[in-house]
Amino acid sequence: MTYLDLHSHSVASDDSRATVEQYLKWINVLRKRGFTVDGIVLTEHRQYDFDVDYSQLAEQYGVIVLKGAELDTCFGHMLVYNITPGLARDVDFGDVKMDGRELIKAARHHGGFVVPAHPGRFGIGLVEYMALGERFDDVSIVERVNGGSKPEENERADELCQRTGYLGTGGSDAHLASHIGRVVTEFKANIATSEQLVEALMSGQFRPVPIAETAAAPVS
Amino acid sequence: MPTAIDYEYDHSLYGVEHESGPFDVTPEIIATYTRSVGEDNPIFTDADAARAAGYGNVVAPPTMCALFERGELPDIKLQFGRRQFHGGQRVEPRAPVVAGDRLTASSHLKDVYTKTGRSGTMVHVVWETTFRNQDGTVVAEVQRSQVVRE
Amino acid sequence: MPATAKLYFEDTELGDEIGPIILSVTDEQVIDFCSLWGNPHPNRFTDQAEAERVGLDAPIVPGIMSMALVSRALTDWAGPGVVSDLDLVFRGSVPHNQPLHVAFQISDTSQQDGLNQVQCDITMTGPVPDRPYIIGTALLTLPSRE
């Protein structure tokens, strides 16, 4: 079992005010309070830095740190996991109007995986585009619980999953240290790398859980 | 290095310091500021208490410099959007500002970039300003992010 | 030991939660504040019709005034003269005449080069903390009891 926060932003994102080390310190605060968070995925806005290496920090604090991205598309924000140089070559991460459907295909082609973020969010979530008649045949998983969304927006994401059969992940969407881990995804698999994260997503063996529900979880 | 965006604006503003001021920090401005936000610590409201605490005069609250920056920044002539709102503000106080100080400001354009959100496409315009007092001492570094939306 | 000290470094710990400190501002306070930067009443911060003209439901508290309110809450908690960096993101409209809940959470502490510093997360919300009007951080430089 692995509990990962699949959506977080460090100071590399323009609107976040948390360093990666502050996130890792806070996860240890959460652990002292009895909660379980095994790791985080940093999903910086509109960018991916191949050079930055968090392995030393990860080891120091005993937290898995993976890297992804949250990209702006013409169909809302999309979380991208297991980003490869090939994907970064084919997709302009800074293009806020990129075709989201093409991004999903490109990520899959390069061994990555795309999960539409906060699909119930007003004005920008996938639900809005589906209501306009857009189809997303390549989507199978969405972010069902987003820690930064309004309750009614998460309800819309929940309804979307019930209606379509989409599977759902959970992520804090943290922009502050103390918000990390407030929503996580519980995976049946043990995950330590981005490749394993993609495999675990494709297995369908996961569910979103609020931090409170991790309190009784066995330590992994 | 400015971020590339799809909308036209005046790139010549990069690398240019825009000077403004002087701004006189009067006891009246401090009094109105503190009264309007309920800041009632005596060093901000009482000159004698401020002097007893080691300051030269009644002290301006640490974010007051941001007041002087407003309205002083050049128009970047952005070819986008109709509505503006204040997206973010950062203040790093470096030295106390007290009544009687005379401040000047030096501002430069830091970045202009695009993102999307609940209200559609937004362009963020980020300015950095350094405030100095009459002795040339830096008293605050201020960053302001103005957001223009469709 | 500064005469104005209210909070000492030794009193802080990573994970501490402070508040909420509950504030509110009246229409008159906003009018007063706007007069300071040459924005006389009526304007979108002080007048219903002007606010609606620019697409707002009601007049809002200006960003720099909201920042001043957060700064005041920091003074209330930690004392004056301790803020080394205050960095805020304005995420939603801050209303007049409503309770504003300002909360701090200590996210880091450090003692280096003779400086005792505490980093804290900041949120300002309404009474229902579902989505903050403001998020941000403050870096405080605190006195030591030693």
Neighbours of A212 (CB within 10 A): 9
CATH code for position C119: 3.10.129.10
Token pair of B34 as six digits: 């503190």
Q: Look at residue C1 in the predicted model and tell me its pLDDT.
A: 39
- Checking if the pLDDT of C53 tops 50, the result is yes
Shared domain for C52 and C85, answered yes or no, is: no
Q: Of the candidates C62, C83, C61, C59, which has an alpha carbon nearest to the alpha carbon of residue C71?
A: C83
Q: Report the pLDDT averaged over residues A151-166.
A: 97
| Predicted local distance difference test score (pLDDT) of residue B118 | 85
Q: How do strand A183-187 and strand B120-132 relate by DSSP bridges?
A: unpaired
Phi and psi at residue C93, to the nearest 5°: -70, 130
Q: Which domain holds residue B125?
A: 11-25+60-149
Instruction: Give the percent of chain B with pLDDT over 90.
Output: 83
Check residue A43 and give its pLDDT.
98
Higher pLDDT, A204 or C39: A204
| Strands lying side by side in the sheet with B138-149 | B18-24, B102-117, B120-132, B138-149, B83-93, C83-90, C134-141, C115-125, C100-112, C17-23
B119 interaction partners in chain A (CB closer than 8 Å): 123
Q: What is the pLDDT of residue B84?
A: 87
pLDDT of residue B143: 97
Arithmetic mean of pLDDT, C79-96: 95
Disruptive mutation site among B24, B35, B36, B94 for chain C (greatest number of C CBs within 10 Å)? B36
Asked whether the predicted pLDDT for residue A39 surpasses 70, the reply is yes
* Mean pLDDT, residues A117-139: 96
Domain membership flag for residue A219: no
ipTM above 0.90, yes or no: yes
Question: Is the pLDDT confidence value at C74 over 60?
Answer: yes
Is the confidence at residue C80, as pLDDT, over 90?
yes
pLDDT above 70 (res A219):
no
Give chain A's mean pLDDT.
96
Q: What is the CATH number of the domain that holds A117?
A: 3.20.20.140
Read off the DSSP letter of residue A212. G
Beta carbons of A94 and B3 less than 8 Å apart: yes
Counting every residue written for chain A, the total comes to 220
Using CA coordinates, name the residue in chain A closest to B3: A94
* A59/B57 Cα distance (integer angstroms): 51
Q: Does A133 touch chain B (CB under 8 A)?
A: no
Q: CB contact, 8 Å: A29 with chain B?
A: no
Which domain covers residue C44, as residue numbers? 26-60
DSSP states of A110-166: TT-EEEESSTT-TTTSHHHHHHTT---TT--EEEEEETTS-HHHHHHHHHHHHHH--
Last residue of a domain, one of C17, C34, C60: C60
Q: Which residues contact B20 (CB under 8 A, 6 or more apart)?
A: B68, B69, B72, B104, B105, B106, B107
pLDDT of residue A220: 47
Question: Would residue B98 count as lying in a domain?
Answer: yes
Please give the pLDDT value at position C97.
95
Name the residue of chain A whose CA is nearest to B89's CA.
A15
Residues of chain B that touch chain A, judged by Cβ-Cβ distance less than 8 Å: 3-4, 6, 88, 113-121, 124
Which pLDDT band, with edges at 50, 70 and 90, does B129 fall under? very high
> Side chain identity at B111, as an amino acid letter?
D
Q: What is the pLDDT of residue B150?
A: 82
Mean pLDDT of chain C: 92
The minimum CA-CA distance between B68 and chain A, rounded to whole Å, is: 24
Decide if pLDDT at A40 tops 60.
Answer: yes
C-alpha Rg value of chain C to the nearest Å: 17
Q: Looking at the complex, does the CB of residue A123 fall below 8 Å from at least one CB of chain B?
A: yes
Question: DSSP letter string over B102-134?
Answer: EEEEEEEEEEEEEEEETTEEEEEEEEEEEEE-T
Specify if B96 maps to a domain.
yes
pLDDT at A216 (0 to 100)? 66
Rounded to an integer, the average pLDDT of C48-70 is 94
Of C15, C130, C135, Cβ closest to residue A176 = C135
C130 and C78 fall within a common domain: yes
Question: pLDDT for A77-115, tens place per residue?
Answer: 999 999 999 999 999 999 999 999 999 999 999 999 999
Asked if C107 lies within 8 A of A26 by C-beta distance, the reply is yes
Cβ atoms within 10 A of the Cβ of C8, count?
A: 16
Q: What share of chain A has pLDDT > 90, as a percent? A: 98
The pLDDT-based confidence of A59 (bands split at 50, 70, 90) is: very high
Cβ contacts (< 8 Å) between A148 and chain C: which residues? 131
User: pLDDT digit string (tens) for A159-199?
Assistant: 999 999 999 999 999 999 999 999 999 999 999 999 999 99
Tens-place pLDDT, residues C22-31: 999 999 999 9
| Structure-block tokens of residue A9 | 């932003």
- Looking up residue B67, the CATH number of its domain turns out to be 3.10.129.10
Instruction: Specify the DSSP element, H or E, that contains B142.
Output: strand B138-149
Residue A220 is assigned to a structural domain of this protein = no
In a domain, A161, yes or no: yes
Please name the residues in contact with B136: beta carbons below 8 A apart, sequence gap of 6 or more. Answer: none
Task: Give me the domain span that covers residue A89.
Answer: 2-214
pLDDT value of residue C129: 78
Q: What is the pLDDT of residue B82?
A: 81
Could you tell me which chains touch chain C, where touching means 3 or more CB pairs under 8 A? A, B
- Number of folded domains that form chain C: 2
**C51 backbone φψ class: left, alpha, beta (φ>0; ψ -120 to 50):** alpha
If asked whether residues C17 and C54 sit together in one domain, one would say: no
pLDDT > 90? residue C128: no
Q: Which residues of C touch B27 (CB under 8 A)?
A: none
Least confident of A130-144, B4-18, C100-114: B4-18
Q: Which of residues 151-180 of A touch B (CB under 8 A)?
A: none
Number of domains in chain A: 1
pLDDT at B3: 64
Backbone angles phi, psi at C73, to 5 degrees: -65, -35
- Tell me what pLDDT residue B2 has: 56
pLDDT at B123 over 60: yes
Same domain, C92 and C142: yes
What is the pLDDT of chain B when averaged over all its residues? 93
Q: Do B116 and A15 touch (CB under 8 A)?
A: no
- How many domains does chain B divide into? 1
